[in-house]
Protein backbone atom coordinates (compact mmCIF):
# COMPACT_ATOMS: atom_id res chain seq x y z
CA UNK A 1 0.00 0.00 0.00
CA UNK A 2 1.29 3.44 -0.91
CA UNK A 3 2.20 5.65 2.03
CA UNK A 4 3.32 9.25 2.46
CA UNK A 5 4.39 10.61 5.84
CA UNK A 6 5.24 14.23 6.56
CA UNK A 7 7.24 15.50 9.51
CA UNK A 8 7.06 17.43 11.65
CA UNK A 9 3.31 17.91 11.95
CA UNK A 10 3.87 21.49 13.07
CA UNK A 11 6.90 23.75 12.99
CA UNK A 12 7.39 27.15 14.58
CA UNK A 13 10.21 29.32 13.29
CA UNK A 14 11.41 32.81 13.93
CA UNK A 15 11.60 35.04 10.90
CA UNK A 16 14.91 34.37 9.18
CA UNK A 17 15.40 30.95 10.80
CA UNK A 18 15.94 28.43 7.99
CA UNK A 19 14.65 24.86 8.27
CA UNK A 20 13.46 21.83 6.31
CA UNK A 21 10.21 19.89 6.03
CA UNK A 22 10.35 16.16 5.36
CA UNK A 23 8.17 13.97 3.18
CA UNK A 24 8.88 10.22 3.29
CA UNK A 25 7.17 8.07 0.71
CA UNK A 26 6.62 4.46 -0.23
CA UNK A 27 4.86 4.11 -3.56
CA UNK A 28 4.82 1.56 -6.33
CA UNK A 29 6.67 3.18 -9.21
CA UNK A 30 6.98 6.87 -8.40
CA UNK A 31 5.47 9.07 -11.10
CA UNK A 32 6.06 12.42 -9.50
CA UNK A 33 6.44 13.95 -6.05
CA UNK A 34 4.31 17.05 -5.63
CA UNK A 35 4.47 19.91 -3.12
CA UNK A 36 1.57 22.23 -2.37
CA UNK A 37 1.01 25.19 -0.09
CA UNK A 38 -2.38 25.54 1.59
CA UNK A 39 -3.57 28.67 3.38
CA UNK A 40 -6.38 28.37 5.95
CA UNK A 41 -9.77 27.95 4.31
CA UNK A 42 -8.34 27.71 0.78
CA UNK A 43 -7.47 25.00 -1.69
CA UNK A 44 -3.90 23.70 -2.09
CA UNK A 45 -1.71 25.82 -4.36
CA UNK A 46 0.80 23.97 -6.52
CA UNK A 47 4.49 24.62 -5.79
CA UNK A 48 6.73 21.94 -7.33
CA UNK A 49 6.84 18.60 -9.08
CA UNK A 50 9.94 16.39 -8.84
CA UNK A 51 10.32 13.27 -10.95
CA UNK A 52 13.66 11.64 -10.23
CA UNK A 53 16.16 11.27 -7.40
CA UNK A 54 18.64 14.11 -7.34
CA UNK A 55 16.25 16.60 -8.87
CA UNK A 56 15.92 20.02 -7.24
CA UNK A 57 13.56 22.93 -7.85
CA UNK A 58 13.52 26.43 -6.37
CA UNK A 59 11.03 29.22 -6.01
CA UNK A 60 11.88 32.31 -3.99
CA UNK A 61 12.77 31.09 -0.46
CA UNK A 62 11.71 27.48 -1.14
CA UNK A 63 13.76 24.64 -2.53
CA UNK A 64 12.49 21.10 -3.00
CA UNK A 65 14.78 18.09 -3.29
CA UNK A 66 14.12 14.41 -3.94
CA UNK A 67 15.83 11.14 -3.03
CA UNK A 68 14.62 7.59 -3.61
CA UNK A 69 12.84 7.53 -0.26
CA UNK A 70 12.05 11.11 0.70
CA UNK A 71 11.70 14.70 -0.34
CA UNK A 72 12.65 17.83 1.53
CA UNK A 73 11.23 21.31 1.31
CA UNK A 74 13.94 23.69 2.45
CA UNK A 75 12.86 27.14 3.58
CA UNK A 76 15.61 29.75 3.63
CA UNK A 77 15.19 32.87 5.77
CA UNK A 78 11.42 32.47 6.05
CA UNK A 79 9.05 35.40 6.43
CA UNK A 80 5.69 35.49 8.25
CA UNK A 81 3.91 35.28 4.89
CA UNK A 82 5.40 31.81 4.43
CA UNK A 83 3.15 30.58 7.25
CA UNK A 84 0.85 27.91 5.81
CA UNK A 85 0.34 24.17 5.69
CA UNK A 86 2.64 22.43 3.24
CA UNK A 87 1.38 19.21 1.66
CA UNK A 88 3.30 16.65 -0.30
CA UNK A 89 1.85 13.94 -2.49
CA UNK A 90 3.35 11.01 -4.39
CA UNK A 91 2.01 9.68 -7.67
CA UNK A 92 2.25 5.96 -8.34
CA UNK A 93 2.49 3.81 -11.44
CA UNK A 94 -1.31 3.84 -11.71
CA UNK A 95 -1.17 7.64 -11.78
CA UNK A 96 -2.99 7.97 -8.46
CA UNK A 97 -1.84 10.36 -5.74
CA UNK A 98 -1.30 9.62 -2.07
CA UNK A 99 -1.16 12.70 0.14
CA UNK A 100 0.73 13.20 3.36
CA UNK A 101 -0.90 14.73 6.42
CA UNK A 102 0.84 18.07 5.95
CA UNK A 103 3.21 20.24 7.98
CA UNK A 104 1.76 23.37 9.53
CA UNK A 105 4.43 26.07 9.41
CA UNK A 106 4.23 29.17 11.57
CA UNK A 107 6.80 31.92 11.11
CA UNK A 108 6.88 34.57 13.83
CA UNK A 109 8.18 38.08 13.17
CA UNK B 1 -2.72 29.94 -15.33
CA UNK B 2 -4.86 26.93 -14.58
CA UNK B 3 -8.24 27.89 -13.19
CA UNK B 4 -10.44 25.46 -11.28
CA UNK B 5 -13.59 27.18 -10.10
CA UNK B 6 -15.93 25.86 -7.46
CA UNK B 7 -19.22 27.66 -7.66
CA UNK B 8 -20.09 27.68 -3.96
CA UNK B 9 -17.55 28.59 -1.30
CA UNK B 10 -19.83 28.23 1.70
CA UNK B 11 -23.05 26.25 2.00
CA UNK B 12 -25.32 25.34 4.89
CA UNK B 13 -27.79 22.52 4.21
CA UNK B 14 -30.25 20.55 6.26
CA UNK B 15 -30.02 16.83 6.91
CA UNK B 16 -31.71 14.91 4.11
CA UNK B 17 -31.36 17.64 1.51
CA UNK B 18 -29.91 16.91 -1.93
CA UNK B 19 -26.73 18.93 -2.44
CA UNK B 20 -24.92 19.80 -5.66
CA UNK B 21 -21.33 21.00 -5.70
CA UNK B 22 -20.23 22.31 -9.06
CA UNK B 23 -16.72 22.56 -10.46
CA UNK B 24 -15.47 24.00 -13.74
CA UNK B 25 -11.93 23.99 -15.16
CA UNK B 26 -10.70 26.08 -18.07
CA UNK B 27 -7.62 24.12 -19.15
CA UNK B 28 -9.24 21.39 -21.22
CA UNK B 29 -8.07 18.78 -18.71
CA UNK B 30 -9.26 15.23 -19.20
CA UNK B 31 -9.08 14.16 -15.56
CA UNK B 32 -11.13 15.66 -12.73
CA UNK B 33 -11.33 14.79 -9.05
CA UNK B 34 -13.37 15.39 -5.91
CA UNK B 35 -11.67 15.21 -2.51
CA UNK B 36 -12.82 15.97 0.99
CA UNK B 37 -10.48 17.34 3.62
CA UNK B 38 -11.01 16.90 7.34
CA UNK B 39 -8.74 17.78 10.27
CA UNK B 40 -6.57 14.82 11.19
CA UNK B 41 -7.70 12.78 8.17
CA UNK B 42 -6.06 14.74 5.40
CA UNK B 43 -7.23 14.65 1.80
CA UNK B 44 -9.41 11.70 0.81
CA UNK B 45 -10.49 10.91 -2.73
CA UNK B 46 -14.25 10.58 -3.24
CA UNK B 47 -14.61 10.14 -7.01
CA UNK B 48 -12.65 10.88 -10.14
CA UNK B 49 -13.29 10.99 -13.85
CA UNK B 50 -10.88 10.22 -16.66
CA UNK B 51 -13.09 11.67 -19.35
CA UNK B 52 -16.59 12.84 -20.19
CA UNK B 53 -19.30 10.52 -18.89
CA UNK B 54 -16.69 8.35 -17.17
CA UNK B 55 -16.40 8.03 -13.41
CA UNK B 56 -14.47 5.93 -10.95
CA UNK B 57 -14.91 5.46 -7.22
CA UNK B 58 -12.20 6.75 -4.96
CA UNK B 59 -11.52 5.77 -1.38
CA UNK B 60 -14.73 7.08 0.21
CA UNK B 61 -17.57 7.11 -2.38
CA UNK B 62 -20.38 6.09 -0.02
CA UNK B 63 -23.11 8.71 0.16
CA UNK B 64 -21.88 10.55 -2.94
CA UNK B 65 -22.37 10.44 -6.69
CA UNK B 66 -20.90 12.46 -9.54
CA UNK B 67 -21.78 13.69 -12.98
CA UNK B 68 -19.55 14.64 -15.88
CA UNK B 69 -21.65 15.59 -18.89
CA UNK B 70 -19.14 18.07 -20.28
CA UNK B 71 -15.35 17.96 -20.25
CA UNK B 72 -14.94 21.15 -18.26
CA UNK B 73 -17.54 20.43 -15.59
CA UNK B 74 -17.58 17.87 -12.79
CA UNK B 75 -20.37 17.83 -10.23
CA UNK B 76 -20.48 16.17 -6.84
CA UNK B 77 -23.92 15.16 -5.58
CA UNK B 78 -24.93 14.32 -2.04
CA UNK B 79 -28.23 12.50 -2.51
CA UNK B 80 -29.31 12.90 1.13
CA UNK B 81 -26.94 15.04 3.16
CA UNK B 82 -25.95 13.89 6.61
CA UNK B 83 -24.10 15.67 9.40
CA UNK B 84 -21.02 13.47 8.89
CA UNK B 85 -20.67 14.98 5.44
CA UNK B 86 -19.87 18.38 6.94
CA UNK B 87 -16.45 19.07 5.46
CA UNK B 88 -14.28 21.03 3.06
CA UNK B 89 -14.72 19.70 -0.49
CA UNK B 90 -11.98 20.20 -3.05
CA UNK B 91 -12.27 19.82 -6.79
CA UNK B 92 -9.15 19.27 -8.88
CA UNK B 93 -8.16 18.68 -12.49
CA UNK B 94 -5.20 17.38 -14.45
CA UNK B 95 -4.30 16.65 -18.02
CA UNK B 96 -4.04 12.96 -18.83
CA UNK B 97 -0.65 11.30 -18.85
CA UNK B 98 1.62 9.91 -16.21
CA UNK B 99 2.93 12.25 -13.54
CA UNK B 100 1.04 15.37 -14.49
CA UNK B 101 0.25 17.92 -11.84
CA UNK B 102 -3.16 18.11 -10.18
CA UNK B 103 -4.52 21.64 -9.73
CA UNK B 104 -7.08 22.43 -7.05
CA UNK B 105 -9.99 24.80 -6.73
CA UNK B 106 -10.53 27.09 -3.76
CA UNK B 107 -12.73 24.62 -1.93
CA UNK B 108 -16.36 24.47 -0.82
CA UNK B 109 -17.16 24.51 2.87
CA UNK B 110 -20.30 22.47 3.47
CA UNK B 111 -22.08 22.43 6.80
CA UNK B 112 -24.98 20.00 7.25
CA UNK B 113 -27.24 20.80 10.19
Contact, B100 vs B9, CB < 8 A?
no
Partner-chain contact B105 A101, CB within 8 Å: no
Question: Which residue among A32, A41, A100 sits closest to B99, beta carbon to beta carbon?
Answer: A32
How wide is the angle at C-alpha B58 spanned by C-alphas A98 and A73, nearest 5°?
15
Q: Is residue B9 part of a domain?
A: yes
Q: Is the pLDDT of residue B98 over 80?
A: no
Interface probe with B: pick from A2, A43, A100, most Cβ of B within 10 Å = A43
Nearest Cα of chain B lies from the Cα of A30 at a distance, in angstroms, of 8
Nearest residue on chain B to A44, judged by CA atoms?
A: B104
A100 close to B (CB below 8 A): yes
Q: Which residues of B touch A102 (CB under 8 A)?
A: 42
Domains and CATH numbers, chain A: 3-108 (2.60.40.10)
A36 close to B (CB below 8 A): yes
Quickly state the pLDDT bin for B96 (edges 50, 70, 90): confident
Partner-chain contact B107 A41, CB within 8 Å: yes
Residue B51: give its domain's CATH number. 2.60.40.10
**CA–CA distance, A56 with B22 (Å, rounded to integer):** 36
Q: Which residues of B touch A42 (CB under 8 A)?
A: 106-107
Which pLDDT tens digits describe chain A residue by residue (109 residues)?
899 999 999 999 999 999 999 999 999 889 999 999 999 999 999 999 999 999 999 999 999 999 999 999 999 999 999 999 999 999 998 888 999 999 999 999 9
* Tally of domains within chain B: 1
Q: Is residue B111 part of a domain?
A: no
A1 close to B (CB below 8 A): no
Question: Which residue among A42, A44, A51 sits closest to B99, beta carbon to beta carbon?
Answer: A51
Instruction: State what percent of residues in chain B have pLDDT above 90.
Output: 86
Nearest one of A32, A34, A46, A59 to B105, comparing CA atoms: A46
Residue B73: give the domain boundaries.
4-106
Q: Is residue B8 part of a domain?
A: yes
Q: Is residue B76 part of a domain?
A: yes
Q: Is the peptide bond before A8 cis (omega within 30 degrees of 0)?
A: yes
Amino acid sequence: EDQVTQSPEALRLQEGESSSLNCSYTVSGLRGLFWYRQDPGKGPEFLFTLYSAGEEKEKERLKATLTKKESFLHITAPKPEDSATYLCAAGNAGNMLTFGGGTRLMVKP
Amino acid sequence: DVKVTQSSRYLVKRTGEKVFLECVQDMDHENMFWYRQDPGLGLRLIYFSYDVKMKEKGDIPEGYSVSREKKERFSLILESASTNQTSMYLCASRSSGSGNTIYFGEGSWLTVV
